[in-house]
Structure 1
Amino acid sequence: MTEQPVDPDVTALLARLGPPVPVADVTADEMRKGMRDAIDAFTRDAEPIAVHEVVDEVVPGRGGGIPVRVYRPRTPTAVLVYLHGGAWVAGDIDTHEFVTRRFSRDTGATVVSVDYRLLPEHPFPAQFDDSWDAVSWAAGLHPDLPLLVAGDSAGGTLTGCVALRARDEGGPRIDGQVLVYPATDDDLDTPSMLGDTGDPRITRDDLRHHFHRYAPPGTGTPYAYPGQAASLAGLPPAVLVIAGHDRLRSAEEDFARRLREAGVPVTVQLDPELVHGWIDFAPCIPAADRAFTRLTHTVSHLIRTGTTPSWPS
């Protein structure tokens, strides 16, 4: 499952972050501060990424106004709605500023970064509702351009579920989904869940805690995890990014297989030397920077052609 060792720069970075603490012992506020502090450290020496125009807006949602940050190039190629990671508890449009600016610069898309409501103050499906409402709003920005939905980790999960609902309800039209190491299922007994990933930060117990807090058994909605959908047929082309050293890997590989069997174009980007969360490391880790470049090349191909490339990423 972990055929290639963790990139040595990543290993050194994880060591500098200090020993991991079980997430059950960390409050939501502590988790949020920890993520902000880590992102500040990762981006401290990064070159600023210029975008023609950046505007903060509030869009209507069933749970109230949803803050979004819109990155507009001079001549957009597409609209890309971005849903941040953070286990549905942490993260916001500020923690993912580097990520969203880079997506806009490298793909030419107008990027809409969504500050969806977080757990535990706002139980599920608040996160999904905000994501859906923001995508529905963004669909009206440039109706003549492709509309993509993208996200990392928890945001990747929400991305897949938004695509499912758009299929089920006949719109808005989504032309592509970009899922960066998403939780596609809450199965804790897959090979990667039970094996040694080489990444001490995220344990099986941590994920059990996250999953239970997010959508405990009996939640009663088909839009918690995309891999739990009965059928994946009719979904938009997908770019699925898998980190080699990630407890979510087995479920993601199964999701990719099911997409292909359902006739959905899918490009899998496997980064065998990287761990969950690598997109946040890209400003300071060369291997993560290269992986980000591969990703934006693939997304640009999807925008240009309407399908995912057949080349291995």
Structure 2
Amino acid sequence: MADEQPFVREDVRAFLQFLEAAGRPPLSEMSLEEARASMMATQHIAERDARDIPVIRDLSCPGPAGDIPLRLYDAMADRTSPAPVIMFYHGGGFVIGDIETHHRLCTQIAAELELPVISVDYRLAPENPFPAAPDDCEAATRWVAGSPSDLGLQVSGLIPMGDSAGGNLAIVTTQSLIEKPADAPVIMQVPIYPLADDISVTQSFADFGEGYLLTRDAMQFFTRCYAPAEGDRRNTPILADHAPTPPTIVATASLDPLRDSGRNYACALIQSGVDVIYLEMRGNIHGFVNLRKAMPSAHEDMQAILAAMKLMLERHGR
């Protein structure tokens, strides 16, 4: 059971109080356009500025329902040697995120790790319900793995990474590329507060479903839009065989209704013998990777995730 009064960081508490005072309506009472605009507006208010890096380039790749928009980030202006590529899948409940909502974060990742980052603008629900998002992410990742001339990079390995819904897509894409390998191997995966397990039965869902940014109302709204298939490992990836999973970094927030989903997934990997670094950000909330100006301590948490990625790459000689 959670503590009656869980620890909340001071900057997190201040941000939650700001949101409460703003009196925004719940997502279920917004139009899709309003919900998507609200997430983008939050980035302008709460997220750190983008890092200045030499390569930010929009491109696209073929997908199952037409071209998939991508954005390439690289801190090296002229990359000539093969390198691992981070495939980034944005959060937003499969409904309200896009390349722009996570643009600033992707510049940070590329700058700190000095590796190429490719952000995938997969199709959103409800216009494109399940499994459009995982289908697009798999197609984009397979395309990148082939080092196509349009990309201009020699790809030595793949690192699926994402937050929330994107954390789910990182896991699911890794599993798909284990089942049917791509032209480059998956060398690590980095799901951040992922949707990996049935959250409805978890203690964190019961304890933090109201008052901590991500609400039960929002999660129900996302689920109605996404319309996932129950029992499909692309919706609940904890159901898959974990033994062949590559090294993994799982990050959660202690005040997140999805916290136990990430905990359970990390535990399942560890029990299957996978090399795992598990980070739980005590006193923080869901969505913290996009709230690093409003909550300065969240920036430190993101730096810890990036440091873990560096450590894991060194540990495995990458």
Cα distance in 1 between the residues matched to 2:89 and 2:50: 21
Deviation string 1:145-195 (CA, Å, 9 cap, x unpaired) is 332010001101111101111111233521111001011123302111112
SS at 1:167 equivalent: helix
What TM-score do you get using the length of structure 2 for normalisation?
A: 0.88
Tell me which residue corresponds to 1:149.
160
1:138 aligned to which of 139, 144, 156: 144
> Does the 8 A contact of 1:78 with 1:108 survive in 2?
no
User: Which amino acid in the other structure matches residue 13 of structure 1?
Assistant: F
1:112 aligned to which of 114, 118, 124: 118
1:30 aligned to which of 23, 30, 34: 34
Distance 1:88 1:212, change over 3 A: same
Distance 1:255 1:279, change over 3 A: same
Tell me which residue corresponds to 2:52.
50
> Does the 8 A contact of 1:179 with 1:240 survive in 2?
yes
Structural mapping, 1:68-107, within 5 Å:
68-74=70-76, 75=79, 77-107=83-113
Deviation string 1:192-235 (CA, Å, 9 cap, x unpaired) is 111246734323343233234324455x7431221232x21101
Q: CA RMSD in A?
A: 2.2
What TM-score do you get using the length of structure 1 for normalisation?
A: 0.90
Q: Greater CA deviation, 297-306 or 150-159?
A: 297-306
Q: Greater CA deviation, 194-203 or 242-251?
A: 194-203
User: How far 1:236 moved relative to its partner?
Assistant: 1.2
User: Which amino acid in the other structure matches residue 41 of structure 1?
Assistant: I
Among all aligned residue pairs of Structure 1 and Structure 2, give the percentage whose two residues are the same amino acid: 29
> Does the 8 A contact of 1:149 with 1:159 survive in 2?
yes
Cα distance in 2 between the residues matched to 1:235 and 1:79: 18
Tell me which residue corresponds to 2:295.
285
How many residue pairs get aligned? The number is 304
SS at 2:93 equivalent: coil
User: How far 1:307 moved relative to its partner?
Assistant: 7.8
Tell me which residue corresponds to 2:192.
180
SS at 1:85 equivalent: coil
Which sections of structure 2, spanning at least 5 residues, go unmatched?
Answer: 148-152
2:17 aligned to which of 15, 36, 43: 15
Which sections of structure 1, spanning at least 5 residues, go unmatched?
Answer: 309-313
- 1:204 paired to 2:210: no
SS at 2:100 equivalent: coil
Tell me which residue corresponds to 2:150.
none
Q: Greater CA deviation, 71-80 or 278-287?
A: 71-80
> Does the 8 A contact of 2:129 with 2:228 survive in 1?
no
